Amino acid sequence: MSFLAKVTLLFVVFVDLLGQGLVFPIINSLVMEPSTSMLPQSTSDAMRHFDYGLIIGVFFLCWFFGAPYISKLSDVIGRKNAILICLFGALGGYALTIAALYLNSFLLLVLGRAITGLTAGNQPIAQAAMIDGSTDDEDRNRNMGYIITGVSFGLVGGPLLGGLLSDPVLLGDLASIKLPFYACFMLVLIAILLVVFSFKDAHDAEAERQKFVFRPSEILELLWRIRKYPTVMRLTVVFFFFHVANLSFYIFVDNYLTSRFGYSTLGGSMVMLTIGIALAFSSTFLVVPAQKRFSKEAILGMTFTVWAVSAAAFIASPNAILTYVPVFCFYFAFGIAYPTFLGLYSAAVSDNEQGWVMGVTIAVFTLVAGVISLLGGELIGLDLDLPFYGVIIAALTALVVMFFAWNKPEIKALMRGSGG
């Protein structure tokens, strides 16, 4: 794979995640601040928490139904065509979101997030494309780290873009809550042009000769196939709790800080910026060194321990500034652990099943995110700390399940085969 093709893939992932880092603080402000007109001013705090969870949950559940199918589809119609489907979907989603802000339409906002979610499958396709272009196990693990670098730069760029373009203190009369979405719309257009003119690989050349057949049942079939792969099944049991802990923290960190410490859109963006910086540093520079020095089990075991401690410290923080320390530690560990997990999944299947297995990882992520968003919206309405107690329980559960579920010869062989 050429250098330009890799840069294009990283930019696609960057744009994909840019929207998440940008949208979370803005949606949080739109829904939680009574001064906005997206919801009636008389709406209770509990109902606002529920509506926040609903918007986020719809996005992730639509992503759940769309991403596995598009990922598997990329094995048939090619990585390039599948990426373009996702980018045009993002373009439509941003257009609806901008319209919702002009009309103060909560329903249109939800619809825009739903369409964006249905076509938010670029990350697993980019992962599969990077794997297609990898030369060996170490190169594959390094490329997985590059994907997380694209993710982390997106999470850094989103808050910066959202905070800068929506804050009148910084931009004066030019600032508006709509401006960041216009910027994202233009970046998606640039990504489309890059993919059209700069991305091409051998897999796409083979895929273009295959006929595309639309089968909605493919979505469930993709996940049902896991039962035929015992190793993938064992990985997924731990991966489930991995994301319960991760997403319980990520989805509600903005919501928590707004409710407890009165954070604005800019404050929420700075939290997302902290997450992005932690991810960018660890995923870019520490993935391969950590995997050479420690076993895969040790990396994940240390991650779950750090997560439990970080969540407890986050809850116990007496002021807003101190919360940044556990947030940074949590996602510093995530930046090493996530590409490690992706490398294990990749090594568990053959080369022609990479699109499918990367789709499985995103399916688990999005399903957990959707459920956590909907349930967590209710829980945080009852008690701000409840989702973060859930982080502690899920992290410790993952540690225990990993010890028992991975104590099998096939898992040990996978660890050795993937460079552990």
Q: What is the overall mean pLDDT for the chain?
A: 83
Predicted local confidence at residue 204, as pLDDT: 55
- C-alpha–C-alpha distance, residues 331 and 337, integer Å: 9
Nearest Cα to 191, choosing from 111, 136, 119?
A: 119
Range with top average pLDDT, 74-88, 223-237, 323-337, 350-364:
323-337
Is 158 in contact with 250 (CB distance < 8 Å)?
no
| Across 111-120, 373-382, 395-404, least confident range | 373-382
Q: Exposed/middle/buried for 36, CB within 10 Å: 0-12, 13-18, 19+?
A: middle
Query: How far is 141 from 340, CA to CA, in rounded Å?
Result: 7
Task: Count Cβ atoms below 10 Å from residue 217 Cβ, excluding itself.
Answer: 9
User: What is the rounded CA–CA span in Å between residue 33 and residue 66?
Assistant: 31
- Residue 189 has a pLDDT of 94
Q: What pLDDT is recorded for position 420?
A: 41
Calculate mean pLDDT across residues 382-406: 94
Average pLDDT over residues 204-221: 58
Is pLDDT at 373 greater than 60 in this prediction? yes
Fold of 3-199+228-417: Growth Hormone; Chain: A; (1.20.1250)
Residues whose CB is less than 8 angstroms from the CB of residue 350 and which lie 6 or more positions away in sequence, other chains included: none
The pLDDT of residue 159 is above 70? no
Asked whether the CA dihedral 252, 255, 261, 266 is positive or negative, the reply is: positive
Task: Kindly provide the b/e burial profile for residues 342-370, where b requires at least 16 CB atoms within 10 angstroms of the residue's own CB.
Answer: bbbbbbbbeeebbbbbbbbbbbbbbbbbb
pLDDT at 202: 56
Q: What per-residue string of b and e applies to 107-138 under the rule 16 or more CB within 10 Å gives b? A: ebbbbbbbbbbbbbbbbbbbbbbbbbbbeebe
Whole-number Cα distances in Å, 228 to 213, 231, 294, 341, 346? 24, 9, 30, 20, 16
Average pLDDT of the segment spanning 20-48: 82
* Residue type present at position 279: L
Residue 406 has pLDDT above 70, yes or no: yes
Whether the full predicted model's pTM is greater than 0.85, yes or no, is no
* % of the chain exceeding 90 in pLDDT: 28
Question: Look-up: residue for tokens 């964006």?
Answer: 116
- Taking the C-alpha atoms of residue 420 and residue 397, their distance in angstroms, rounded to an integer, is 23
- DSSP code, position 357: H
CA angle, residues 398, 402, 403, in degrees to nearest 5: 120
The C-alpha R_g of the chain, in whole angstroms, comes to 20
pLDDT in tens, 260-310: 988 776 777 788 788 888 988 898 788 889 988 998 889 999 999 999 999
Would you say residue 192 has pLDDT above 60?
yes
Residue 254 neighbours by CB distance under 10 Å? 24
